[in-house]
Amino acid sequence: MKINVKYFLIVVAAIALSNTTVQAQEKISFVDSLKREVQNSANVQTQIELQMQLCWLLRNQNPEEALLYGNQALSLIESNHRHENYPQVLNYLGVVHRNKGDYSYALILYKQALEWANKTNNQVQLGYAHNNIGGIYTLKNSYPEAIDQIEKALSIFEKLGKTDGIGFASINLGNLYRHLKSYTASMRYFDRAEEIKIQLNDTIGLLVVKQLKADIFKEQGKISEAKSLFLELRKTYQHNNDIKGQAIVLNELGLLELKNSAYSQAFKLLLEAETINIKIENKQGLAYNSINLGLAYHGLNQNDQAIQKLNKGLLLGNQLGDKQIGLMAYQAYSQVYADLKDWKLAYQAKENYLKVYKEIYNYEQSEQINAIRDKYLFEKQLSEHQLLEERNLNLEKENKFTEGKFTFLKIGAFVLLVFFLSISLLLFFYFRKIQEGKASSLLLNKQNAELIEANHTKEKFLSIIGHDLKNPFNSVLGLSNLIIDQWGTIDDEEKFQITNEINSSSENIYELLDNLLIWSRTQTRSTTMRVEKFDLNENIHQIFEIFKNQANFKKINVRMDFKGEKLVLADPNMIATVIRNLLSNSLKFTQEGGQILIRTEQKADMVEFSISDNGKGILPEDLKRIFEDKGNQASKGTANETGTGLGLLLAKEFIQQNGGLIWVESKPGKGSLFTFTLPTA
């Protein structure tokens, strides 16, 4: 295929344009020159290439025009049977639709690109198709499918030695782990992508990485670092006339102003972002804008408009199938209704939040992700091993002519080997006879111990069901019957008190069942430990989000005293269960208006976690057996919440399994201090 020199220079210029920060006017002039060249060119392949370039360059500035050129290229490909161009144009069109928030149609286009890449044996576009599909699955919170697709892309790019592809895949993997709130892993992939973008002088790709890193700072509560990076990005996006980038950053800056309670400034920034997103038809951006504008309206005491905006954001999130948007919306609903003292709707929003949270971050999904990741690493190692074997085989062929010299030595070695094997077998059978008697005795003792342990587990299980689970159910049934029978004779305040008690009992039942399920898994040894390096402080922040409304309801001030990262080596799911139970207990047994302090400290080769409160404290006789699995009785919280010793029993087991220690100090009427340690990573 012949391409004229003029077209070649235009393509080179397009690459330079995508990799450098240029004046907005220069970019517009360059795009105009490409448009003129499309009209003047008589070469079909040149027209296709130029229209695909225009589709790519306009994807953020003018999505509608980008689609126009992409579809024109697609028509030329179809009418002239240039099938080899299908994968690239379908990938480009998919990116434009993804940017507009049309995930479903983008996914269709990416899958078509995948199909044509296989048909035309285009490995580069095959890699990009897998990577793009993985990005959509991440946005739809289908994480096992996402990591499977992105790992396939990464494998293809590594085999091809395609550095820019590895950079794109690293960005997608980093974003996936950001969605999972595994910030340490996320930053590791973003750092890798950043190195590649700097190496390739891809400043636009570098902006994407910086934006995602700023998102992590924001989610970790590092507000000043996030704001500084977002302001830098805003200037660059304005400089490049990247209006989608501007909309994203305006929304993020508005959200940071919301966190500082600067509602008027937040409203101004968010309204500007909404205007841009409406213009470019970015549904995802509009969804986030709507939720944040709802919170801004609420801060300005315009609550009708606040609810309308939250409804719009949730509706768009549901249309996109983006559960992260739903999670954000329900959190906002809960906050707004709690401030309005509409406890029923606040509780309903909290329940919906927890339901979506568990759908996104469930343990089984994490297991699938780990399994896929392990499979990828194994296949990579296997491939390297096979390559090594091939090299050894070639070396063996080269040296085969020397084997005759060593034939006699081989025969002698074989005879000696047979002799020693015979002696070894005789000794083995002799000692096995002796060991069989011992093994039978040990097996019998082991089975007897397991039987005793199983019986003890059964008794504990029945005790919990018979006492701890039965009591809150009786409370719910009794109170619900009372409110039904006496509905006409009790006033609104009494109704509120009764429904609040029903709500509290229901939460206790839920918490107990959750702990019971985890505990039963540990007893049957169906829980597999997955030790990894993670940031304990990040883990604490995530868990506190679940309890924030409960703390607000009891007007308890929860303070966190830690800075930076505290990297530990443990199973993050187990440690999350421990922290969840300790924080739940502190909130239960602390009076309204009380104080809770959470701290982490580096102590030699261990990280120490502590949570202290000024609650009701623990009696000395209870303190001695608080971590034991016998004799623990349910105790009432300050708002009549019930609790069991099961959560603390789990805490002790999980901390010990992860190589740490746990202890408690307490004085009745003064409060309690729970502390545990974990190995430093």
pLDDT in tens, 604-642: 788 999 999 999 888 888 887 787 654 444 555 545 455
pLDDT of residue 8: 41
Mean pLDDT, range 240-264, rounded to an integer: 89
pLDDT digits (tens, 9 = 90+) for 293-309: 999 999 999 999 999 99
Tell me the pLDDT band of 315, cut-offs 50, 70 and 90. very high
Which amino acid, one-letter code, is at 473? F
Q: Report the chain's C-alpha Rg in angstroms.
A: 31
| pLDDT for the residue numbered 379 | 45
- pLDDT, tens digit (0-9, with 9 covering 90-100), for 478-520: 566 666 666 666 677 766 766 766 666 666 666 666 656 665 6
Tens digits of residue pLDDT in 216-248: 998 888 888 989 999 999 998 888 888 888 999
- The full DSSP string for 566-581 is -EEEE-HHHHHHHHHH
Stretch 431-446: mean pLDDT: 52
Q: pLDDT tens digit string along 21-75? A: 444 455 556 788 888 888 888 899 999 999 999 998 888 778 889 999 999 999 9
Cα separation values, 416 from 283, 411, 413, 423, 628, Å: 77, 9, 5, 11, 60
pLDDT confidence bin for 123, thresholds 50/70/90: very high
For residue 401, the 8-state DSSP code is: G
User: What distances in angstroms separate CA 39 from CA 69, 245, 422, 624, one per listed residue?
Assistant: 12, 30, 86, 86
Residue 562 backbone class (left: φ over 0; alpha: ψ -120 to 50; beta: rest): beta
Instruction: Say whether pLDDT at 156 is over 80.
Output: yes
Position 317, amino acid: G
Q: 676: closest CA among 545, 568, 555?
A: 568
Distance CA 62, CA 321 (A): 25
Quote the strand ranges of 514-564, DSSP E: 532-535, 557-561
416 compared with 310, residue with greater pLDDT: 310
The top-level CATH class assigned to 529-679 is alpha beta
478 backbone dihedrals φ, ψ, rounded to 5°:
-65, -45
Please say if the pLDDT value at position 270 is more than 90. Answer: yes
Q: How confident is the model at residue 673 (pLDDT cuts 50, 70, 90)?
A: very high
Most confident of 89-93, 205-209, 423-427: 89-93
Percent of the chain with pLDDT over 90: 32
Please give the mean pLDDT across all residues of the chain: 78
CB 313 within 8 A of CB 287: yes
Q: What are phi and psi of 601, to 5 degrees?
A: -140, 145
What share of residues in the chain are helix, strand, coil (percent, to 5)?
75, 5, 20
Say whether pLDDT at 552 is over 90: no
CB-based contacts of 541, cutoff 8 Å, min separation 6: 220, 221, 560
As a whole number of angstroms, the distance between CA 61 and CA 241 comes to 7
Residue 115: how many other CB atoms lie within 10 Å: 15
